[in-house]
Structures are given as structure tokens and as C-alpha cells.
Amino acid sequence: MRVLVTGGAGFIGANFVHQTVRERPDAEVTVLDALTYAGDRASLADIEDKITFVEGNITDAALVDDLASKADQIVHFAAESHNDNSLKDPSPFIQTNLVGTYTLLEAVRKHGVKFHHISTDEVYGDLELDDPAKFTPDTPYNPSSPYSSTKAGSDLLVRAWVRSFGIEATLSNCSNNYGPYQHVEKFIPRQVTNLIDGIKPRLYGAGENVRDWIHVEDHNSAVWTIIDKGRSGETYLIGANGEKNNLEVVQTLLEIFGFDKNDFEHVKDRPGHDMRYAIDNTKLRTELGWEPKYTDFSTGLQATVDWYKANEAWWRPAKEATEAKYAAAGH
Ligand code: NAD
Ligand code: DAU
């Protein structure tokens, strides 16, 4: 199978490429990535000789058309992915998440290549803390931020291209990922690298917001399950029953590092901050037989801390500028 992975130098995409090279020796992998601030070729350094890397933009119609004509399956990870950035400047989110997805869909339509669209649970908005409900594939779309609204728009484009033009496409909406190669702007790597540097973890607001954590390896095994066995036009929600509030996550990290559990700082909250995400993964488990492997969060988190400790050369170059950006925003 010739697989074109967009955004393969980012966090989840790079882990997907590693997993694919490791577990699917028959797959010929091409990565298309613009190497924005979030993309890093070093994330693929140890498998560079096993893949083809193309530096380019998913809004470049001629390039996308050429690459799509040589692929059997596209797995579309490329996106602007950080909520805080989208609140500061939405424009790259419109370009990449909407125009980029549209550009890919037009090439998919022309060349009859299969498409898997990677999306987020944030398209469903948020849940109350005391609500017993979780997101299902039937939950109405209600995104809160420029990031999540552009992801919602991209999902709707994919669905429309399936219905109107008959392209073969599957979609997945996943909860918060953690694991190796995640940019230091994101919550867990930011706090892990702060702790390595002797800086207190920074908690937005009261820290009551809940995220449904899943290890990136489990996200990617689910993506392959959907590509292998999923039905075209269908949406599958990916999650591993990992609900934790932000305070619990920070305190688990403080415990891993052997610090006092109150040794963190409250900082300015995010405007429009979603309260809770929670995934009902019944469809994925019962219809496609997928199960997560990383069911113990603190074990997965310990492994992630070990990875950041062992790979300082990978994250250090981005740390100072990221923290300067947060300081300017009061976070
Ligand atoms: P990331 O920000 O770490 O990586 C994004 C990658 O896309 C980078 O390598 C970047 O260079 C590339 N990219 C950005 N704009 C591009 C463009 N115009 N053309 C080509 N490449 C471009 O993101 P991530 O956290 O790995 O997320 C990957 C996907 O998964 C996104 O679609 C995101 O919405 C989705 N998602 C993420 C999470 C999460 O917890 N991180 C959860 C659910 C879904
Ligand atoms: O739910 C899936 C989404 O998860 C993905 O679609 C996004 O791409 C991904 O970035 C993530 O979005 P969040 O906004 O939930 O992730 P983030 O890591 O930015 O923040 C997680 C939580 O931690 C959120 O409630 C905000 C909070 N936070 C974040 C930072 C950076 C803090 O308390 N302190 C921080 O320093």
C-alpha cells in the first residue's frame, strides 16, 4: 500500500509514521509536511531511509495533485492544532485546516485515492462536569474556538465530498493525546519540561477542566483499524476512558518528579475554555474490535516523562520561544 501521510513531522503524524514503518513493512510511506513551527524532521530522523519526505504545503494544489496520483491511501494529520494560537491569530487555521483539507479532497476526487481524515473531539464543544453524557458520533457539532471550528468545517467538507462526489473516506475524532514528540506548547510536555527546568507547572484557571487522555500509540492503532475495517463515510470516535482534570494531571507529574503536590502556579485562564471532553468509544470497540493498550495513565505518563528526560536535544530548541509567547499572553 502506498500511504501519503500529511503532517507526518508533527506529534501524532510522526508517531503514526514510526508505528507504520515498524508494523507494516509492506507500506510505502511518503510524508508531506510544511515544517511549520510544529513540524520537526528530527522526529523522523531514525527512519528517514525508510520513508520519502516531501517538504511542502497541503494548500499547494499542484504538489498535492501529483502526490495523490501516486498514493493508494492518504492519512490526513496536517493541521494548525493549538487552541491558544488560534485565539491569537486564526488566519493560518483557516488556510491549513479548511483550504488545505479542501485541496486534498479535490485531489482525492480526481485520482480515486482513499482518504482518512484525522479530527478532534473538540468539534462537539464541551460537557458540564456533572453531566453523565459522553460524546457519541451523533452529538451535534458545537465548536468553541477558531481551532475547533475550522476542524469542524474540515469534517463537514469530507462528509460532503463523500455524499456529493462519492469519494471513499473515513473520519475519526479523537480526544487529547500524550506521548513522545509532542510540542512543548501543549499542556503535558509544557509541564514536564518546566519540571525538568525547575519551573513550577502552570495551571489555567482553577484546573477543573477535564480532558480524556489517550496515549498516541492507541490513537494511531485505532486509525489503522479504521483504515483496515471502517466503512466509507463513517465517523469513529477514538478515546480510551482517560478522563482526568488538569489539577490531577499536574499533581501526578509532581508526584513522578518527587515534588510537593501543591508546588504549581495558577495562571490566567484561556478565553472560552472548554470545560470537559469525554468520548464514548462503543462504536469503535464493538463494530471494529479495537482496544487500547495503555490503560494505566500514570504508567503512560511516567514513560512520557522518561522520554522527555532522555530527549532534551529534541525539545530544547523550542522551549525558550514557547515560554516567551506564554509569558506575553499571561499564561
Ligand atoms: P502538530 O501541531 O503537532 O503537527 C501538525 C503538523 O502539520 C506539523 O508537522 C506541521 O508542520 C504540519 N502542517 C501544518 N500546516 C501544514 C500545511 N499547511 N501543510 C503541510 N503540513 C502542515 O499536531 P498534532 O497534535 O500531531 O495533531 C495532528 C492532527 O490530529 C491534527 O489534525 C489535530 O487536529 C488532530 N488531533 C490532535 C489531538 C491532540 O491531542 N494533539 C487530538 C485529536 C486530534
Ligand atoms: O481534545 C483534543 C484536542 O486536544 C486536540 O484537538 C488539540 O489539537 C490538542 O491541542 C488538545 O487541545 P487542548 O486545548 O485540550 O490541549 P492543551 O494541551 O492546549 O491543553 C490541555 C488542557 O490544559 C486545557 O484544559 C488547557 C490546560 N492548560 C494548558 C496549558 C498549555 C493548562 O492548564 N496550562 C497550560 O500551560
- Average pLDDT of each block of 10 consecutive residues along the chain (331 residues)? 99 99 98 98 98 99 98 99 98 98 99 98 98 97 98 98 98 98 98 97 98 98 98 98 98 98 97 98 98 96 98 98 96 95
Res 277: pLDDT: 98
What is the position in ligand 2's atom list of the atom closest to the CA of 121? 1
68 lines ligand 1 (CB under 6 A): no
**Total H helices, total E strands in the chain:** 12, 13
Residue 148 Cα to chain centre, angstroms? 12
Instruction: Give residue 262's pLDDT.
Output: 97
- Domain CATH code at residue 29: 3.40.50.720
Question: How far apart (Å, rounded) are the C-alpha atoms in residues 205 and 33?
Answer: 34
Is residue 260, in this structure, part of any structural domain at all?
Answer: no
- Within-domain flag for 233: yes
pLDDT at 236: 98
- CA dist 284 → 59, 89, 159, 222, 235 (Å): 31, 35, 18, 8, 9
145 C-alpha to ligand 2 centroid (Å): 12
Measured in Å, residue 77 CA sits from the centre of ligand 1 at 5
Task: In whole angstroms, give the CA distance from residue 309 to residue 264.
Answer: 20
Within a domain: 146: yes
Q: Residues lining ligand 2, CB < 6 A?
A: 81-83, 120-122, 175-176, 186-187, 190, 202-204, 209, 211, 246, 270, 277, 331
Positions marked catalytic: 121-122, 147
Backbone torsions φ then ψ of 265, nearest 5 degrees: -120, 140
**Ligand 2: distance of its center to the CA of 249 in Å?**
12
Q: Please indicate, yes or no, if residue 279 is contained in any of the structural domains.
A: no
CA-to-CA separations, 236 to 120, 163, 223, in angstroms, rounded: 11, 17, 9
| Structural domain boundaries, residue 66 | 2-177+214-238
Joined grid coordinates for residue 190: 509544557
DSSP letter, residue 126: -
Kindly state the cell numbers that stand for 143: 465548536
Residue 149 lies in a domain: yes
Any domain includes 192: no
Q: How many domains does the chain have?
A: 1
**Nearest residue to 212 via CA among 277, 156, 274:** 277
Please provide residue 90's backbone torsions phi and psi, each rounded to the nearest 5 degrees: -70, -15
Is there an atom of ligand 1 within 6 Å of 93 CB?
A: no
Strands 114-120 and 214-215: unpaired
101 assigned to some structural domain: yes
**Residue 86: its pLDDT value, please?**
98
Identify the pLDDT of residue 182: 99
Question: Quick one: pLDDT at residue 190?
Answer: 98
Is there an atom of ligand 1 within 6 Å of 177 CB? yes
The residues, any chain, with a CB within 8 Å of residue 260's CB and separated by 6 or more, are: 254
Question: In whole angstroms, how far apart are CA 322 and each of 58, 67, 171, 228, 316?
Answer: 25, 33, 31, 38, 10
| Residue 307 counted as domain residue | no
Put the strands of the sheet holding 73-76 in their side by side order: 51-55, 28-33, 2-6, 73-76, 114-120, 169-174, 235-238
